[in-house]
Structure 1
Amino acid sequence: MAKRELPKHVYRQRNGIYFQRRGWPSQKFQSEFGTPEFWREYAGILSQKDKPRRVVSRNFGALIDDYRKSPRYKNLKPRTGLDYDKHLDFFHEIMGEANPAKMQRKDVIRLRDSNAEKAYFANYSLRVLRVLMEHCVDLGWRDSNPARGVPELKTEKKEREPWPRELLDAYRASCELGTRERLVMELCVGTGQRIGDVLNMRWSNIEDGAVWLRQSKTSKELWVPILPELQTALDAASRHSVFILTNERGTNRWSYRGTSAAVRKVRKRIGALDYDIHSWRYNAACELLEAGCSDDLIASVTGQSPAMVQHYTKKVRQRIRAVQAQNLRKDKVGNE
């Protein structure tokens, strides 16, 4: 389509048709050119000429602000949104005034490699930047996504393991009943749920000696009976909010960032930095396996798929089966 066929201030970009005029915000047309719907959109934009317009500076700060208002961001799962926020804030801090239209592939690689000593952070930043720059393309600020196709850093993945019993005991000894640090641990270990679902738990979720919840990631509804250690921690907790775990003011739920920082202080104090919050979910699955539960019974508590139950318990499962195998072997040899 030649430019002269388009009406004034309308331009075709690689990913669609945009209204672009100096002093006006860039807008992407939702309808195909030439249709009645297109001309209604065009007339609607022009009808706003007497209304005050905000000129948007095309920098990363404005891009991040616009992305956070978009369905692409608002439809993220709560935990994913929290993870994205850490990296969006990082981008805002280091290049908030820079023009995203000028970012090149070499700049993306340089940004990735500047955090090479923190490979997980570098790779997650790359994923978020890829999404952010796709939003930049959708706004019509540039034609292509410079982060697309940039490979992540290769890392040697360290598999999580459940907390050893002695470190769980040390954690309990370090955090008195009544503290949030103790309560979050008992909730994670006792219910076997993800930290995001634990932080969303309300006192109204407790009924008939159990916690009921809908998992945010899978939408599964679970009813999990409360174990004695968790009940003791709940009995000692303050109930000044609808949420079981609250912020310091008691006005809202405890944030993931605040929880992670508080738990990390305890982990550092007791020498447990190799084990994190998510490892407590491994503890729940492995304790259920050691108690003789089938995979189906384990899943009834954790809400995991059969494959994830196997993954979370594979090391403990191997040890249990190895003991069984060697005992059978020993009995056979003893009877010969």
Structure 2
Amino acid sequence: MAKRELPKHVYRQRNGIYFQRRGWASQKFQSEFGTAEFWREYAGILSQKDMPRRVVSRNFGALIDDYRKSPRYRNLKPRTGLDYDKHLDFFRNIMGEANPAKMQRKDVIRLRDSNADKAYFANYSLRVLRVLMEHCVDLGWRDSNPARGVPELKSQKKKQREPWPEQLLDAYRAACPLDTRERLVMELCVGTGQRIGDVLNMRWSNIEDGAVWVRQSKTSKELWVPILPELQAALDVASKHSVFILTNALGANRWSYRGASASVRAVRERIGALNYDIHSWRYNAACELLEAGCGDDLIAAVTGQSPAMVQHYTRKVRQRIRAVQAQQMRTEQKHF
């Protein structure tokens, strides 16, 4: 479509057609050019000529504000949204007045490398910036995303998470009386095999017919998980003054992740279990199910994990079990 075919102040961008006029906010047309709907949109924009207009400064501050109003941001999971907010605020602080249309690939790489000593932060910032600049393209402020294709930093390989050894689980139980929140959160994590976020969201109304109903926040899967005796003992003595099973210190609302993590860490320090954290309890659940003879489908029925994640969580225990079987077969063959 040639420019001369378009009406005054209307321009074609790579991702659509926009009304762009000095002193006016840029607006993207929702209808195809040439349709009756398009011309109604165009007339509606021009009819605002006598109305006071707010000129939007095309800087990162305005881009971030607009992004936070978009479905792309509003549809993020709550925990992901909190993580994004940290990096969005970081961008606002360091380049809030800068024009995102002038950002180049070299600038993205320079920003990434300025945090090379914090590889996780640098890589997460890059992911958020990539999304933010894609929104900038959608607004018609620029034609391409300079963060697309920029590789993440290679970080040192993290120590793989493992399930708590049995002796440390025993030590944890010994350090935390049955009626404490620290004991209850552990029994819920180990007993149900769920992520800590889903455990903290559990309500008393979720318990039904000797099991707990779970709707996983990450996958939206619905699971009905029977309650183990160890967990039932902790539930029997827990306070029921709130709708949530795990509550804050006042017993009035849900226990926060930060509060639960800090309380559990204090116990881990006392018993020498700093190498094992809250998330490792999900590994315990999967591994205990495997050791009990459950196949991957039965493990997934409790944890809600994909086949690949079941394999990942149980890889070391699975290797030990199969190695024992292999050596037994080897020994039997020699004495046949």
User: Into which bin does the TM-score normalised by the smaller protein fall?
Assistant: 0.7 to 0.9
Aligned to 2:31: 31
Letter of the 2:152 counterpart: E
Q: 1:9 to 1:192 in 2, by over 3 A?
A: same
Alignment CA distance shift 1:23-1:312 (3 Å): same
Partner residue in 2 for 1:119: 119
2:70 maps to a residue whose letter is: S
In structure 2, what is the equivalent of residue 160 of structure 1?
161
Secondary structure (helix, strand or coil) at the match of 1:8 reads coil
1:56 equivalent in structure 2: 56
Which 10-residue stretch deviates more, 275-284 or 247-256? 247-256
Whole-angstrom CA distance in 1 between matches of 2:92 and 2:154: 26
User: Corresponding residue for 1:195?
Assistant: 196
The DSSP-based 3-state class of the residue aligned with 2:56 is: coil
1:137: how far off?
0.9
Match of 1:300 in 2: 301
| Residue aligning to 2:138 | 138
Higher mean C-alpha deviation, range 52-61 or range 23-32:
52-61
- The verdict on how the C-alpha distance between 1:186 and 1:68 changes in structure 2, with shifts beyond 3 A counting, is farther
TM-score normalized with structure 2 length: 0.86
Return 5+ residue gaps in structure 1 as ranges: none
Q: C-alpha separation between the residues in 1 aligned to 2:134 and 2:56? A: 18
Q: Is 23-32 or 310-319 further displaced after alignment? A: 23-32
Give the direction of change, closer, same or farther, for the CA distance of 1:229–1:63 in structure 2 (3 Å limit).
farther
Shift of 1:148: 0.4
Contact 1:78-1:196 within 8 A present in 2 as well: no
Q: What is the letter of the counterpart of residue 86 of structure 1? A: K
Partner of 1:284: 285
Q: Are 2:102 and 1:102 equivalent residues in the alignment?
A: yes
In 2, distance between residues paired with 1:329 and 1:62?
Answer: 69
Partner of 1:42 in structure 2? 42
Q: 1:12 is matched with which residue?
A: 12
Which is worse superposed, 85-94 or 68-77?
A: 85-94
Alignment-derived partner of residue 71 in structure 1 = 71
Aligned residue pair count: 335
Q: Contact 1:82–1:256 at 8 Å: present in 2 too?
A: no
Decide whether the 8 Å contact of 1:162 with 1:280 is kept in 2: yes
1-structure distance, mates of 2:98, 2:318: 52
Report the alpha carbon displacement of residue 204 of structure 1 after superposing the two structures with TM: 1.1
Letter in 1 for 2:192: T
Identify if the C-alpha distance between structure 1 residues 315 and 151 changes in structure 2 by more than 3 Å, giving closer, same or farther.
same
Structure 1 position 4, deviation (Å) = 4.1
- Provide the rounded CA distance (Å) in 1 between the counterparts of 2:266 and 2:96: 31
Which one-letter code corresponds to 1:85 in the other structure?
D
Counterpart position of 1:183: 184
Partner of 2:232: 231
Q: Which amino acid aligns with 1:135?
A: H
1:134–1:174 distance in 2 versus 1, CA, 3 Å: farther
Mapped to 1, the partners of 2:63 and 2:252 lie a distance apart of 31
Q: CA deviation at 1:150?
A: 0.2
* 1:190 CA drift (Å): 1.4
Deviation at 1:175, TM superposition (A): 4.9
Q: Residue 314 of structure 2 aligns to a residue in which SS?
A: helix
Q: What do the CA deviations read for 1:274-325 (whole angstroms, capped 9, x no partner)?
A: 4333322111100111222222221111112233212211110111222233
Q: Deviations over 1:203-254 (max 9, x none)?
A: 2111122101222333322111112332333344443433333456666544
1:174 Cα offset (Å): 5.1
Root mean square deviation of aligned Cα: 2.8
Q: Which residue of 2 aligns with 1:93?
A: 93
Q: Write the letter of the residue equivalent to 1:5.
A: E
Provide the secondary structure at the position in 1 that maps to 2:21: coil
Q: Secondary structure at the match of 1:320?
A: helix
Shift, 1:196, TM fit: 3.0
Could you list the runs of 5+ residues in structure 2 that have no partner in the other structure?
none
Give the Cα separation in 1 of the matches to 2:245 and 2:316.
33
How high is the sequence identity, in percent, across the aligned residues? 89
Work out the CA distance in 1 between the residues paired with 2:13 and 2:273.
Answer: 53
The alignment's TM-score, normalised by the length of structure 1, stands at 0.86
Structure 1 residue 209 and structure 2 residue 210: aligned? yes
